[in-house]
């Protein structure tokens, strides 16, 4: 089976741990395609899903997105990036309602191509504020997937922190730092994790290598139970 992973930087895995690589290790008899793109929202995936289907002709699709959507909504100083770099016009925002509609469009497109489809719900631990807002997007995606009869893998119980920290909102410098680091050989994840006091991420959003390994194993098991 050919399995397509659609998502953002968490799926891409070029900044921190890569859970898709772990899925590939766990499912060696299947072709694994990583179509994660850093900074993507559900709107961005909605725009490119037909191209991804045409290029890869997957049998199965695993869709997990929403972290950037939530950031655009509650962290205004990031919106110039999402407006300019990701084409979110006119304001650089994806509301929960827009997220739900984009997810519905993505999922119905995949189903329309007779692709077995699943949705992943990924947590965040950047800050208490973002965790609360992220839940709105998680609920929206869950409702759409449930309505369409699509299997859901909720990763919150395995990864969401019990006691979220307080931290200043993301600004454009945070995003620029991601680009700078991911284009270099920087990998001092543990020092960064300790600096902020996170558990499974090093900056509140991107996975530590060991967490990516664990997430990949959970997702591989889920896919086996649902489709393989």
The answer to whether 169 and 129 have CB atoms below 8 angstroms apart is yes
Report the first-to-last Cα separation within the chain, whole angstroms.
8
pLDDT at residue 210, as a whole number: 97
β-bridge pairing 2-7 and 60-64: parallel
Could you give the CA distance from residue 72 to residue 147 in angstroms, rounded to a whole number?
26
pLDDT at residue 160, as a whole number: 85
The answer to whether 5 and 20 have CB atoms below 8 angstroms apart is yes
166 CA to centre of own chain: 22
Could you give the CA distance from residue 49 to residue 115 in angstroms, rounded to a whole number?
12
Per-residue pLDDT of the chain (228 residues; tens, 9 = 90+): 999 999 999 999 999 999 999 999 999 999 999 999 999 999 999 999 999 999 999 999 999 999 999 999 999 999 999 999 999 999 999 999 999 999 999 999 999 999 999 999 998 999 999 999 999 999 999 999 999 999 999 999 999 888 888 899 989 889 989 989 988 989 999 999 999 999 999 999 999 999 999 999 999 999 999 999
Determine the length of the chain: 228
Could you give the CA distance from residue 153 to residue 149 in angstroms, rounded to a whole number?
13
Two structure tokens written together for 12: 């891409």
The CATH architecture that domain 2-226 belongs to is 3-Layer(aba) Sandwich (3.40)
Phi and psi of 132, rounded to 5°?
-70, -45
pLDDT at residue 179, as a whole number: 87
Two structure tokens written together for 131: 């965790």
The model carries a pTM of 0.97
Two structure tokens written together for 127: 């800050």
């Amino acid at each position: 089976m050919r399995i397509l992973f659609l998502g953002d930087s968490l799926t891409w895995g070029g900044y921190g741990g890569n859970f898709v690589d772990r899925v590939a290790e766990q499912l060696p008899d299947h072709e694994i395609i990583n179509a994660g793109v850093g900074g993507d929202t559900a709107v961005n995936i909605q725009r490119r899903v037909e191209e991804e289907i045409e290029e890869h002709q997957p049998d199965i699709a695993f869709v997990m997105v929403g972290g950037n959507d939530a950031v655009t909504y509650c962290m205004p100083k990031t919106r110039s990036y999402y407006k300019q770099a990701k084409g979110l016009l006119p304001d650089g925002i994806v509301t929960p309602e827009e997220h739900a509609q984009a997810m519905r469009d993505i999922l119905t497109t995949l189903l329309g191509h007779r692709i077995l489809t699943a949705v992943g719900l990924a947590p965040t631990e950047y800050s208490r504020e973002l965790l609360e807002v992220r839940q709105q997007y998680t609920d929206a995606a869950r409702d759409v997937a449930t309505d369409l009869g699509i299997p859901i893998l909720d990763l919150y119980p395995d990864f969401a922190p019990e006691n979220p920290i307080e931290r200043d909102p993301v600004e454009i410098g945070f995003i620029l730092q991601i680009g700078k680091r991911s284009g270099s050989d920087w990998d001092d994840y543990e020092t960064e994790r300790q600096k902020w006091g996170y558990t499974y991420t090093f900056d509140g959003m991107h996975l530590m290598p060991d967490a990516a390994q664990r997430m990949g194993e959970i997702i591989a098991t889920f896919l086996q139970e649902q489709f393989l």
